[in-house]
Protein backbone atom coordinates (compact mmCIF):
# COMPACT_ATOMS: atom_id res chain seq x y z
CA UNK A 1 0.00 0.00 0.00
CA UNK A 2 2.85 2.36 0.87
CA UNK A 3 4.46 1.60 -2.50
CA UNK A 4 1.27 2.54 -4.34
CA UNK A 5 0.97 5.78 -2.36
CA UNK A 6 4.59 6.59 -3.07
CA UNK A 7 4.14 5.91 -6.76
CA UNK A 8 1.03 8.09 -6.98
CA UNK A 9 2.81 10.86 -5.15
CA UNK A 10 5.80 10.57 -7.45
CA UNK A 11 3.54 10.79 -10.52
CA UNK A 12 1.74 13.85 -9.12
CA UNK A 13 5.06 15.56 -8.36
CA UNK A 14 6.37 14.99 -11.89
CA UNK A 15 3.17 14.92 -13.93
CA UNK A 16 4.26 17.80 -16.17
CA UNK A 17 7.25 15.86 -17.50
CA UNK A 18 5.44 12.53 -17.55
CA UNK A 19 2.66 14.02 -19.69
CA UNK A 20 4.54 16.58 -21.76
CA UNK A 21 7.35 14.29 -22.91
CA UNK A 22 5.07 11.69 -24.64
CA UNK A 23 2.94 14.45 -26.20
CA UNK A 24 6.10 16.21 -27.35
CA UNK A 25 7.63 13.05 -28.82
CA UNK A 26 4.29 12.23 -30.46
CA UNK A 27 4.20 15.61 -32.21
CA UNK A 28 7.88 15.28 -33.16
CA UNK A 29 7.15 11.75 -34.51
CA UNK A 30 4.33 13.14 -36.65
CA UNK A 31 6.58 15.94 -37.95
CA UNK A 32 9.40 13.46 -38.65
CA UNK A 33 7.22 11.25 -40.86
CA UNK A 34 5.46 14.20 -42.51
CA UNK A 35 8.72 15.94 -43.42
CA UNK A 36 10.26 12.55 -44.29
CA UNK A 37 7.65 12.09 -47.01
CA UNK A 38 8.55 15.49 -48.41
CA UNK A 39 12.21 14.43 -48.43
CA UNK A 40 11.27 11.27 -50.30
CA UNK A 41 9.32 12.92 -53.12
CA UNK A 42 10.24 16.60 -53.43
CA UNK A 43 11.57 18.41 -55.24
CA UNK A 44 11.43 16.33 -58.41
CA UNK A 45 14.48 18.16 -59.82
CA UNK A 46 17.58 19.17 -57.90
CA UNK A 47 17.33 22.56 -56.19
CA UNK A 48 20.51 24.06 -54.81
CA UNK A 49 23.70 25.92 -55.62
CA UNK A 50 26.82 24.82 -57.44
CA UNK A 51 29.99 25.06 -55.36
CA UNK A 52 33.26 25.54 -57.29
CA UNK A 53 35.57 22.56 -56.81
CA UNK A 54 32.85 20.49 -55.13
CA UNK A 55 32.61 18.00 -57.99
CA UNK A 56 36.31 17.14 -57.73
CA UNK A 57 36.22 17.04 -53.92
CA UNK A 58 33.15 14.78 -53.91
CA UNK A 59 35.17 11.80 -55.18
CA UNK A 60 37.29 11.90 -52.02
CA UNK A 61 34.31 12.04 -49.64
CA UNK A 62 32.92 8.98 -47.81
CA UNK A 63 30.51 6.91 -49.90
CA UNK A 64 27.53 7.76 -47.70
CA UNK A 65 28.16 11.46 -48.24
CA UNK A 66 28.45 10.90 -51.99
CA UNK A 67 24.95 9.39 -51.92
CA UNK A 68 23.40 12.69 -50.82
CA UNK A 69 21.54 14.11 -53.88
CA UNK A 70 23.57 16.75 -55.68
CA UNK A 71 26.95 16.10 -54.05
CA UNK A 72 28.46 14.16 -56.97
CA UNK A 73 27.20 16.86 -59.36
CA UNK A 74 29.08 19.52 -57.39
CA UNK A 75 26.08 21.10 -55.71
CA UNK A 76 24.67 21.67 -52.25
CA UNK A 77 20.91 21.42 -52.08
CA UNK A 78 18.27 18.73 -52.26
CA UNK A 79 16.32 16.52 -54.60
CA UNK A 80 13.69 14.04 -53.45
CA UNK A 81 15.31 10.67 -52.72
CA UNK A 82 12.96 8.80 -55.04
CA UNK A 83 13.28 11.11 -58.10
CA UNK A 84 17.04 11.38 -57.47
CA UNK A 85 17.26 7.60 -57.74
CA UNK A 86 14.76 7.32 -60.60
CA UNK A 87 17.25 5.76 -63.03
CA UNK A 88 18.44 3.25 -60.44
CA UNK A 89 14.85 2.39 -59.57
CA UNK A 90 14.26 1.81 -63.28
CA UNK A 91 17.23 -0.54 -63.42
CA UNK A 92 16.07 -2.45 -60.35
CA UNK A 93 12.50 -2.52 -61.64
CA UNK A 94 13.74 -4.25 -64.79
CA UNK A 95 15.95 -6.71 -62.89
CA UNK A 96 13.34 -7.53 -60.26
CA UNK A 97 10.14 -7.31 -62.25
CA UNK A 98 10.09 -6.26 -65.91
CA UNK A 99 12.58 -8.97 -66.89
CA UNK A 100 10.17 -11.41 -65.26
CA UNK A 101 7.16 -9.71 -66.81
CA UNK A 102 8.17 -10.35 -70.40
CA UNK A 103 10.96 -10.51 -72.97
CA UNK A 104 11.32 -7.83 -75.67
CA UNK A 105 9.70 -10.29 -78.08
CA UNK A 106 6.70 -10.75 -75.79
CA UNK A 107 6.26 -7.01 -75.36
CA UNK A 108 6.46 -6.50 -79.14
CA UNK A 109 3.96 -9.24 -79.94
CA UNK A 110 1.54 -7.86 -77.36
CA UNK A 111 1.47 -4.75 -79.55
CA UNK A 112 0.04 -6.93 -82.37
CA UNK A 113 2.48 -6.65 -85.32
CA UNK A 114 -0.33 -7.43 -87.80
CA UNK A 115 -2.22 -4.33 -86.68
CA UNK A 116 1.00 -2.33 -86.73
CA UNK A 117 1.52 -3.43 -90.34
CA UNK A 118 -2.03 -2.40 -91.25
CA UNK A 119 -1.48 1.00 -89.65
CA UNK A 120 1.85 1.49 -91.46
CA UNK A 121 0.21 0.67 -94.82
CA UNK A 122 -2.64 3.08 -94.04
CA UNK A 123 -0.24 5.91 -93.19
CA UNK A 124 2.46 5.10 -95.76
CA UNK A 125 0.32 4.39 -98.85
CA UNK A 126 -0.67 8.03 -99.55
CA UNK A 127 3.01 8.98 -99.32
CA UNK A 128 4.22 6.48 -101.94
CA UNK A 129 3.77 8.78 -105.00
CA UNK A 130 5.78 11.54 -103.31
CA UNK A 131 8.45 9.06 -102.19
CA UNK A 132 8.90 7.50 -105.63
CA UNK A 133 8.90 10.91 -107.30
CA UNK A 134 11.49 12.33 -104.87
CA UNK A 135 13.86 9.36 -105.11
CA UNK A 136 13.72 9.27 -108.90
CA UNK A 137 14.15 13.02 -109.24
CA UNK A 138 17.16 12.89 -106.95
CA UNK A 139 18.83 9.87 -108.55
CA UNK A 140 17.83 10.02 -112.24
CA UNK A 141 15.70 13.11 -112.98
CA UNK A 142 16.05 12.84 -116.79
CA UNK A 143 14.82 9.27 -117.02
CA UNK A 144 11.92 10.01 -114.69
CA UNK A 145 10.99 13.11 -116.66
CA UNK A 146 11.11 11.26 -119.97
CA UNK A 147 8.87 8.41 -118.87
CA UNK A 148 5.27 8.76 -120.08
CA UNK A 149 2.85 9.77 -117.27
CA UNK A 150 1.06 6.42 -117.63
CA UNK A 151 4.25 4.49 -116.97
CA UNK A 152 5.07 6.61 -113.91
CA UNK A 153 1.56 6.09 -112.58
CA UNK A 154 1.87 2.33 -113.19
CA UNK A 155 5.17 2.21 -111.25
CA UNK A 156 3.61 4.06 -108.31
CA UNK A 157 0.53 1.80 -108.41
CA UNK A 158 2.71 -1.30 -108.41
CA UNK A 159 4.66 -0.02 -105.40
CA UNK A 160 1.40 0.71 -103.57
CA UNK A 161 0.05 -2.72 -104.48
CA UNK A 162 3.13 -4.44 -103.06
CA UNK A 163 3.16 -2.26 -99.94
CA UNK A 164 1.23 -4.65 -97.62
CA UNK A 165 3.61 -7.53 -98.33
CA UNK A 166 6.62 -5.21 -98.02
CA UNK A 167 5.43 -3.86 -94.66
CA UNK A 168 4.55 -7.36 -93.47
CA UNK A 169 8.11 -8.41 -94.25
CA UNK A 170 9.41 -5.43 -92.24
CA UNK A 171 7.28 -6.09 -89.13
CA UNK A 172 8.16 -9.78 -89.29
CA UNK A 173 11.85 -8.91 -89.58
CA UNK A 174 11.59 -6.62 -86.55
CA UNK A 175 9.82 -9.37 -84.61
CA UNK A 176 12.49 -11.93 -85.47
CA UNK A 177 15.35 -9.69 -84.31
CA UNK A 178 13.60 -7.65 -81.61
CA UNK A 179 15.67 -9.22 -78.81
CA UNK A 180 18.81 -7.85 -80.49
CA UNK A 181 17.35 -4.45 -81.35
CA UNK A 182 15.32 -3.57 -78.26
CA UNK A 183 16.67 -3.18 -74.72
CA UNK A 184 13.76 -2.66 -72.28
CA UNK A 185 16.15 -2.08 -69.37
CA UNK A 186 17.87 0.79 -71.14
CA UNK A 187 14.49 2.17 -72.26
CA UNK A 188 13.17 2.18 -68.69
CA UNK A 189 16.37 3.62 -67.18
CA UNK A 190 16.61 6.44 -69.69
CA UNK A 191 12.90 7.25 -69.50
CA UNK A 192 12.86 7.30 -65.69
CA UNK A 193 16.03 9.42 -65.66
CA UNK A 194 14.43 11.93 -68.02
CA UNK A 195 11.04 11.79 -66.25
CA UNK A 196 11.63 11.25 -62.51
CA UNK A 197 8.08 12.39 -61.75
CA UNK A 198 6.89 9.04 -63.14
CA UNK A 199 8.58 7.19 -60.29
CA UNK A 200 6.91 9.51 -57.80
CA UNK A 201 3.58 8.70 -59.45
CA UNK A 202 4.10 4.97 -58.93
CA UNK A 203 4.16 5.55 -55.17
CA UNK A 204 1.62 8.36 -55.01
CA UNK A 205 -1.07 6.92 -57.25
CA UNK A 206 -1.64 3.72 -55.34
CA UNK A 207 0.02 4.37 -51.97
CA UNK A 208 -1.05 7.85 -50.90
CA UNK A 209 -3.49 6.47 -48.33
CA UNK A 210 -0.79 4.26 -46.81
CA UNK A 211 1.70 7.12 -46.80
CA UNK A 212 -0.80 9.33 -44.96
CA UNK A 213 -1.36 6.50 -42.49
CA UNK A 214 2.40 6.30 -41.92
CA UNK A 215 2.41 10.00 -41.00
CA UNK A 216 -0.44 9.45 -38.52
CA UNK A 217 1.39 6.48 -37.03
CA UNK A 218 4.37 8.77 -36.51
CA UNK A 219 2.43 10.41 -33.66
CA UNK A 220 1.45 7.04 -32.19
CA UNK A 221 4.99 5.66 -32.36
CA UNK A 222 6.43 8.87 -30.94
CA UNK A 223 3.88 9.01 -28.12
CA UNK A 224 4.43 5.38 -27.08
CA UNK A 225 8.21 5.78 -27.18
CA UNK A 226 7.88 8.97 -25.18
CA UNK A 227 6.33 7.23 -22.15
CA UNK A 228 9.50 5.36 -21.05
CA UNK A 229 11.59 8.36 -22.16
CA UNK A 230 9.61 10.62 -19.79
CA UNK A 231 10.06 8.17 -16.91
CA UNK A 232 13.81 7.81 -17.54
CA UNK A 233 14.20 11.58 -17.82
CA UNK A 234 12.53 12.16 -14.47
CA UNK A 235 14.47 9.36 -12.73
CA UNK A 236 17.90 10.42 -14.03
CA UNK A 237 17.21 14.17 -13.95
CA UNK A 238 20.09 15.17 -16.25
CA UNK A 239 19.25 17.97 -18.71
CA UNK A 240 21.20 16.48 -21.63
CA UNK A 241 19.54 13.07 -21.41
CA UNK A 242 16.27 14.12 -23.05
CA UNK A 243 17.95 15.42 -26.27
CA UNK A 244 20.02 12.23 -26.37
CA UNK A 245 16.92 10.05 -26.00
CA UNK A 246 15.24 12.27 -28.60
CA UNK A 247 17.86 11.06 -31.11
CA UNK A 248 16.85 7.47 -30.37
CA UNK A 249 13.12 8.28 -30.60
CA UNK A 250 13.58 10.10 -33.93
CA UNK A 251 15.66 7.31 -35.44
CA UNK A 252 13.32 4.55 -34.25
CA UNK A 253 10.19 6.44 -35.36
CA UNK A 254 11.42 6.57 -38.95
CA UNK A 255 12.59 2.96 -38.74
CA UNK A 256 9.13 1.86 -37.58
CA UNK A 257 7.51 3.95 -40.33
CA UNK A 258 9.50 2.19 -43.04
CA UNK A 259 8.77 -1.16 -41.41
CA UNK A 260 5.06 -0.34 -41.38
CA UNK A 261 5.08 0.37 -45.12
CA UNK A 262 7.13 -2.58 -46.36
CA UNK A 263 7.32 -5.32 -43.72
CA UNK A 264 6.60 -8.10 -43.54
CA UNK A 265 6.16 -8.71 -47.28
CA UNK A 266 4.31 -11.97 -46.71
CA UNK A 267 1.23 -12.13 -44.43
CA UNK A 268 2.12 -13.42 -40.95
CA UNK A 269 0.03 -14.34 -37.93
CA UNK A 270 1.15 -12.48 -34.80
CA UNK A 271 -0.91 -13.06 -31.64
CA UNK A 272 -3.80 -14.20 -33.80
CA UNK A 273 -3.66 -11.09 -36.02
CA UNK A 274 -2.62 -11.15 -39.69
CA UNK A 275 0.23 -8.68 -40.19
CA UNK A 276 1.58 -7.50 -43.56
CA UNK A 277 3.29 -4.36 -44.85
CA UNK A 278 0.90 -1.69 -46.11
CA UNK A 279 2.38 -1.64 -49.63
CA UNK A 280 2.57 -5.41 -50.27
CA UNK A 281 -0.97 -5.67 -48.91
CA UNK A 282 -2.09 -3.58 -51.88
CA UNK A 283 0.03 -5.33 -54.51
CA UNK A 284 -2.99 -5.93 -56.74
CA UNK A 285 -3.92 -2.22 -56.89
CA UNK A 286 -0.25 -1.33 -57.32
CA UNK A 287 -0.05 -3.70 -60.29
CA UNK A 288 -2.70 -1.69 -62.17
CA UNK A 289 -0.94 1.63 -61.46
CA UNK A 290 2.48 0.24 -62.35
CA UNK A 291 1.18 -1.41 -65.52
CA UNK A 292 -0.51 1.80 -66.61
CA UNK A 293 2.71 3.79 -66.26
CA UNK A 294 4.82 1.16 -68.03
CA UNK A 295 2.31 0.72 -70.89
CA UNK A 296 1.32 4.37 -71.32
CA UNK A 297 4.60 6.14 -70.62
CA UNK A 298 7.59 3.79 -70.87
CA UNK A 299 7.38 0.72 -73.16
CA UNK A 300 5.11 2.30 -75.75
CA UNK A 301 5.02 1.85 -79.50
CA UNK A 302 6.26 5.45 -79.82
CA UNK A 303 9.29 4.79 -77.65
CA UNK A 304 9.96 1.45 -79.35
CA UNK A 305 10.01 3.27 -82.70
CA UNK A 306 12.38 5.93 -81.33
CA UNK A 307 14.62 3.28 -79.80
CA UNK A 308 14.70 1.16 -82.96
CA UNK A 309 15.84 4.04 -85.17
CA UNK A 310 17.67 6.37 -82.77
CA UNK A 311 18.79 4.04 -79.97
CA UNK A 312 22.18 2.37 -79.59
CA UNK A 313 21.25 -0.27 -82.20
CA UNK A 314 19.68 2.22 -84.63
CA UNK A 315 22.28 1.58 -87.36
CA UNK A 316 21.66 -2.15 -87.13
CA UNK A 317 17.90 -1.60 -87.42
CA UNK A 318 18.29 0.55 -90.53
CA UNK A 319 20.67 -1.93 -92.17
CA UNK A 320 18.42 -4.88 -91.41
CA UNK A 321 15.25 -3.19 -92.66
CA UNK A 322 16.94 -1.88 -95.79
CA UNK A 323 18.11 -5.43 -96.56
CA UNK A 324 14.54 -6.66 -96.09
CA UNK A 325 13.15 -3.92 -98.34
CA UNK A 326 15.54 -4.33 -101.31
CA UNK A 327 13.95 -7.54 -102.69
CA UNK A 328 10.54 -5.96 -102.29
CA UNK A 329 11.68 -2.92 -104.28
CA UNK A 330 13.02 -5.23 -107.01
CA UNK A 331 9.65 -6.95 -107.06
CA UNK A 332 7.86 -3.61 -107.29
CA UNK A 333 9.90 -2.74 -110.39
CA UNK A 334 8.26 -5.75 -112.03
CA UNK A 335 9.02 -6.88 -115.56
CA UNK A 336 10.77 -3.61 -116.47
CA UNK A 337 13.45 -4.18 -113.82
CA UNK A 338 15.92 -5.83 -116.23
CA UNK A 339 15.48 -3.20 -118.93
CA UNK A 340 15.82 -0.35 -116.43
CA UNK A 341 18.94 -1.96 -114.94
CA UNK A 342 20.53 -2.21 -118.40
CA UNK A 343 19.51 1.34 -119.35
CA UNK A 344 20.81 2.88 -116.14
CA UNK A 345 23.73 0.60 -115.50
CA UNK A 346 24.00 -1.75 -112.48
CA UNK A 347 25.63 0.83 -110.19
CA UNK A 348 23.07 3.53 -110.92
CA UNK A 349 20.18 1.12 -110.51
CA UNK A 350 21.55 -0.12 -107.18
CA UNK A 351 21.94 3.47 -105.99
CA UNK A 352 18.30 4.20 -106.75
CA UNK A 353 17.22 0.99 -105.04
CA UNK A 354 19.34 1.81 -101.95
CA UNK A 355 17.96 5.36 -101.73
CA UNK A 356 14.42 4.03 -101.95
CA UNK A 357 15.14 1.41 -99.29
CA UNK A 358 16.69 3.93 -96.86
CA UNK A 359 13.80 6.34 -97.36
CA UNK A 360 11.30 3.52 -96.87
CA UNK A 361 12.96 2.48 -93.59
CA UNK A 362 12.20 5.85 -92.01
CA UNK A 363 8.69 5.97 -93.49
CA UNK A 364 8.00 2.46 -92.19
CA UNK A 365 8.99 3.25 -88.60
CA UNK A 366 7.41 6.72 -88.49
CA UNK A 367 3.85 5.38 -87.93
CA UNK A 368 5.17 3.76 -84.73
CA UNK A 369 5.28 7.31 -83.39
CA UNK A 370 1.59 7.95 -83.94
CA UNK A 371 0.52 8.87 -80.39
CA UNK A 372 -3.12 7.90 -80.80
CA UNK A 373 -2.33 4.51 -82.32
CA UNK A 374 0.33 3.89 -79.66
CA UNK A 375 -2.20 4.55 -76.88
CA UNK A 376 -4.70 2.14 -78.44
CA UNK A 377 -2.11 -0.61 -78.73
CA UNK A 378 -0.96 -0.10 -75.12
CA UNK A 379 -3.96 -1.95 -73.69
CA UNK A 380 -2.42 -5.38 -74.29
CA UNK A 381 0.88 -4.43 -72.62
CA UNK A 382 -0.99 -2.88 -69.71
CA UNK A 383 -2.95 -6.09 -69.22
CA UNK A 384 0.16 -8.28 -69.43
CA UNK A 385 2.24 -6.16 -67.02
CA UNK A 386 -0.63 -5.90 -64.52
CA UNK A 387 -1.26 -9.65 -64.60
CA UNK A 388 2.38 -10.58 -64.12
CA UNK A 389 2.97 -7.92 -61.46
CA UNK A 390 0.12 -9.44 -59.46
CA UNK A 391 1.80 -12.84 -59.87
CA UNK A 392 5.14 -11.60 -58.46
CA UNK A 393 6.05 -13.01 -55.06
CA UNK A 394 5.36 -10.30 -52.43
CA UNK A 395 9.06 -10.28 -51.54
CA UNK A 396 9.96 -9.50 -55.18
CA UNK A 397 7.33 -6.78 -55.27
CA UNK A 398 8.75 -5.20 -52.11
CA UNK A 399 12.28 -5.44 -53.54
CA UNK A 400 11.10 -3.63 -56.65
CA UNK A 401 9.48 -0.84 -54.65
CA UNK A 402 12.10 -0.48 -51.93
CA UNK A 403 15.53 -1.51 -53.22
CA UNK A 404 16.54 1.84 -54.69
CA UNK A 405 15.33 3.68 -51.58
CA UNK A 406 16.94 1.27 -49.17
CA UNK A 407 20.51 2.51 -49.53
CA UNK A 408 19.31 6.07 -48.87
CA UNK A 409 17.07 5.24 -45.92
CA UNK A 410 19.89 6.29 -43.58
CA UNK A 411 19.21 9.87 -44.68
CA UNK A 412 15.64 9.54 -43.42
CA UNK A 413 16.83 7.99 -40.16
CA UNK A 414 19.44 10.74 -39.74
CA UNK A 415 16.75 13.34 -40.42
CA UNK A 416 14.59 11.72 -37.72
CA UNK A 417 17.48 11.67 -35.27
CA UNK A 418 18.26 15.37 -35.86
CA UNK A 419 14.62 16.33 -35.39
CA UNK A 420 14.46 14.20 -32.23
CA UNK A 421 17.58 15.96 -30.91
CA UNK A 422 16.09 19.37 -31.70
CA UNK A 423 12.80 18.36 -30.07
CA UNK A 424 14.65 17.27 -26.93
CA UNK A 425 16.46 20.60 -26.64
CA UNK A 426 13.20 22.45 -27.27
CA UNK A 427 11.47 20.52 -24.49
CA UNK A 428 14.34 21.30 -22.11
CA UNK A 429 14.12 25.01 -23.01
CA UNK A 430 10.34 25.15 -22.50
CA UNK A 431 9.88 22.96 -19.43
CA UNK A 432 13.04 23.63 -17.39
CA UNK A 433 11.85 24.70 -13.96
CA UNK A 434 8.61 22.73 -14.03
pLDDT, tens only, 371-428 = 777 777 777 778 877 887 788 888 888 887 777 677 778 888 888 999 999 998 998 8
CB 111 within 8 A of CB 302: no
Long-range contacts of 172-179 (CB under 8 A, 24+ apart): 172/113, 173/320, 173/321, 173/324, 174/108, 174/113, 174/308, 174/317, 174/321, 175/105, 175/108, 175/109, 175/113, 177/320, 178/104, 178/105, 178/108, 179/103, 179/104, 179/105
- Structural domain including 170 reads 90-194+287-394
In the predicted model, what is the mean pLDDT of the chain? 76
Whole-number pLDDT of residue 342: 46
Q: Is residue 312 part of a domain?
A: yes
Asked if 398 and 277 touch (Cβ cutoff 8 Å), the reply is yes
347 domain residue, yes or no? yes
Question: Would residue 65 count as lying in a domain?
Answer: no
pLDDT of residue 11: 65
Q: Is residue 377 part of a domain?
A: yes
Instruction: Please tell me the total number of residues recorded for the chain in this structure.
Output: 434
Positions of the chain with pLDDT lower than 50, given as ranges: 338-339, 341-344
- Residues 194 and 205: their CA atoms lie apart, in Å, by 20
- What pLDDT, on a 0 to 100 scale, did the predictor assign at position 339? 47
What is the pLDDT at residue 178? 77
- At residue 106, the pLDDT reads 75
Instruction: Indicate whether 357 belongs to any domain.
Output: yes
Does 321 fall in a domain?
yes
For residue 344, the model assigns a pLDDT of: 47
Q: Where does residue 204 fall: left (phi above 0), alpha (psi -120 to 50 degrees), or beta otherwise? A: alpha
* Total number of domains constituting the chain: 1
Amino acid sequence: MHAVDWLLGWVVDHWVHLVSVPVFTGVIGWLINWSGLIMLFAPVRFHGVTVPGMRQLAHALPRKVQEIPGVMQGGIGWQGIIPARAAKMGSIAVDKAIAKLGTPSEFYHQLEPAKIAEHIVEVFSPEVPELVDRVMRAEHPRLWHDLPPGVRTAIVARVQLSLPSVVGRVTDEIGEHIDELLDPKLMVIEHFRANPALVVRIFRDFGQRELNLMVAFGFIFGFLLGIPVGVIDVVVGTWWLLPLLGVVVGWVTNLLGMWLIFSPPEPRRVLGITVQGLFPRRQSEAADVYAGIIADDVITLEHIGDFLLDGPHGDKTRTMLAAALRPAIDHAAGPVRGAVRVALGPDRFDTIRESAAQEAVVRTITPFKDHGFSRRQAAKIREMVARRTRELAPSDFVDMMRSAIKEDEWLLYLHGAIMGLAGGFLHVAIFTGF
